[in-house]
Amino acid sequence: MTAAEARAPAKVNLTLHVTGRRPDGYHLLDSLVVFADAADVVRVRPADAPALRVTGPMAAGVPTDSSNLVLRAAALMGVTAEIELEKHLPPAGGIGGGSSDAAATLRALSRMTGRPLPREVLALGADVPVCMEPRPMRMRGIGETLSPVDGLPALDAVLVNPGIAVPTPQVFARLDRRANAPMPERFPTFPDAAAFADWLAGQRNDLERPAQTIAPEVGAALAALAQADGCRLARMSGSGATCFGLFPDSTSAARAARALARPGWWVRAVRLGAQ
Ligand code: C5P
Residue numbers of the domain that contains 225: 150-272
Indicate if 51 and 72 belong to the same structural domain.
yes
Residue 4's pLDDT is 97
Tell which one of 27, 67, 68 to mutate to probe ligand 1, the residue whose CB is within 8 A of the most ligand atoms. Answer: 27
* Distances in whole angstroms, Cα of residue 49 to Cα of each of 46, 71, 78, 106, 213: 9, 12, 12, 17, 44
- Tell me the ipTM for this assembly: 0.94
Indicate if 180 and 114 belong to the same structural domain.
no
Atom of ligand 1 nearest to the CA of 168: 8
Ligand 1 centroid–CA 25 distance in Å is 9
pTM of full prediction above 0.80:
yes
Residue that terminates a domain, selected from 122, 141, 160: 141
Indicate if 158 and 135 belong to the same structural domain.
no
CATH of the domain at 118: 3.30.230.10
Indicate if 34 and 162 belong to the same structural domain.
no
**Would you list which residues are annotated within the binding site for ATP?**
90-100
Indicate if 16 and 117 belong to the same structural domain.
yes
pLDDT digits (tens, 9 = 90+) for 138-197: 999 999 999 999 999 999 999 999 999 999 999 999 999 999 999 999 999 999 999 999
Indicate if 18 and 134 belong to the same structural domain.
yes
Indicate if 124 and 161 belong to the same structural domain.
no
Residue 96's pLDDT is 85
Q: Any catalytic annotation for residue 48? A: no
CATH of the domain at 244: 3.30.70.890
Indicate if 88 and 200 belong to the same structural domain.
no
Q: Is the CB of 11 under 6 A from ligand 1?
A: no
Residues of the chain with pLDDT under 70: none
Which residues are CB-neighbours of 225 under 8 A, at least 6 positions away? 158, 160, 231, 234, 243, 244, 245, 256, 260
Residue that terminates a domain, selected from 141, 162, 191: 141
Q: Total domain count for the chain? A: 2
pLDDT digits (tens, 9 = 90+) for 22-36: 999 999 999 999 999
- What CA–CA distance (Å, rounded) separates 66 from 203? 38
Residue 187's pLDDT is 97
Q: Any catalytic annotation for residue 127? A: yes
**Would you list which residues are annotated within the binding site?**
90-100
* SS3 label, residue 257: helix
